[in-house]
Amino acid sequence: MKLLVILPRVPFPVEKGDKLRAYHQLRCLSVKHEIHLITLNDEQLDPDAEYELKKYCKSVRVFKLSAMGLVYNLLWAFFTGRPLQIGYFHRFSVKREIRNLIDEIKPDHIYCQLARTAEYAIGIDIPKTIDYQDVFSVGLQRRLPDLPFWKRPFFAMEAERMSIFEETIFYQFDHHTIIAHPDRDLLPFNGRDKVLIVPNGVDFSYFIPDNDIDKRYDLVFTGNMAYPPNIMAVEYLVRKILPIVWETRPSANLLIAGTTPHLKVRSLSESRILVSGWLKDMRTAYSASRIFIAPMLIGTGLQNKLLEAMAMDLPCITSFMANEALVATPGIDVLIAENPAEYARHILNLLSHPLKAKKLSDNGFHFVKSHYDWEAATALLAGLMEQPD
């Protein structure tokens, strides 16, 4: 099958969740299908990106989202009732070129990642699949209580518009996917049961435990450190959880590793807290740490960081909300906490009892190995797109 894939960001390097999902889906789909990739880009293009992506794609076309036309497209979105983020990723000139490419390539199927790309495929008489990935409207709503009062009306409007848009595109596409059951249940419209769960996975050929690296850090948190749910999580960890840990174990330290750390994150740095920024090889962060902790307070979707940490044989502590998508067994595969005292108790217990920590990490490894495989997950997507009209 000839597939046209439209992405909102260039999926290399894979330092963000949507890029990770897209990269491995392209890799797995390319085994049996001819892929033509169209990707939008609003940042500096990695010099190796096109080379890497052409390993899996017959053609790669990158459209730069320049500042020219941005104001016009934001106004277009505002006055047509669309979410502003749809306007941000939309360019009429790019839409025309994509239509020309579709006429030239004549794909059998179009696959769009995220609602942000939906406008480029709506109205085209070719079978189409939209990957919601998670529920953006709910993610925006969950952020409202923690925003300054003057931002809340704007985010409330954006959340409402996104909710409407998520339903609108449901009827414009033939097939629909999302990462996890809790997110599907949050979709704000009837018919959500027709959305297929296509989970993420782990590249087990890459994320291999390395026991030869010295454990320099007691705790590690990884992720896109400009992403608001991650910022909130590490602030909660440093300001609420660690002070309790330090009462018993003053030397306990933390590594915060991930791309583009926000000023709020960088300000957390001190003698016992290292904010590393982007690491070319994130495995070094996992291997140098004893415990992975992800005290997620808001957000939607499956936490890739938990999958990677488990694959690297780390004992993991997270929130009930994050485990809803992961579906690990609390107390067996992962430890769950709902307040700072519980998190601190789990941390101190694992640091004081290495055998317990090892048993938890072994269970977590076997859990993720059994349930989160990119090939198996992408086979579900391929099967959906291969269905007859």
349-361 per-position pLDDT tens digit: 999 999 999 999 9
What pTM was estimated for this model as a whole? 0.93
CA distance 327 to 147: 30
CA 277 to chain centre: 18
* DSSP secondary structure letter of residue 46: P
State the chain's mean pLDDT as an integer: 96
pLDDT at position 302: 84
> Is the bond into 243 cis (omega within 30 degrees of 0)?
no
pLDDT at position 280: 87
As beta bridge partners, residue 36 has: 4, 59
Q: In this predicted model, what pLDDT tens digit does every residue of 197-248 receive, in sequence order?
A: 999 999 999 999 988 889 999 999 999 999 999 999 999 999 999 999 999 9
300, pLDDT greater than 80: no
161-177: average pLDDT = 97
329-333: average pLDDT = 98
167-173: average pLDDT = 97
CA distance 235 to 222: 13
Computed on alpha carbons and rounded to an integer, the radius of gyration of the chain in Å comes to 21
Q: Of 329, 256, 259, give the one whose Cα is nearest residue 18.
A: 259
Q: In this predicted model, what pLDDT tens digit does every residue of 33-60 receive, in sequence order?
A: 999 999 999 999 999 999 999 999 999 9
Domain span(s) for CATH 3.40.50.2000 in the chain: 2-201+374-385, 217-371
251, pLDDT greater than 90: yes
Q: Of 268, 382, 368, 249, give the one whose Cα is nearest residue 312.
A: 368
CA 120 to chain centre: 22
Q: In what order do the strands lie in the sheet with 335-337?
A: 273-277, 254-257, 217-222, 289-294, 316-319, 335-337
Q: H/E element holding 63?
A: strand 59-64
pLDDT at position 388: 77
* DSSP secondary structure letter of residue 45: P
pLDDT at position 68: 82
Q: Which CATH number fits domain 217-371: 2.60.40.60, 1.10.357.10, 3.40.50.2000, 3.40.190.10?
A: 3.40.50.2000
Fold entry, domain 2-201+374-385: Rossmann fold (3.40.50)
CA distance 295 to 301: 15
281-298: average pLDDT = 95
Contact between residue 233 and residue 318 where contact means Cβ atoms under 8 Å apart: no
Task: Tokens for 65, please give them.
Answer: 């989202």
CA distances from 247 to 208, 215, 266 (A): 34, 22, 24
pLDDT band at 389 (very low <50, low <70, confident <90, very high): low
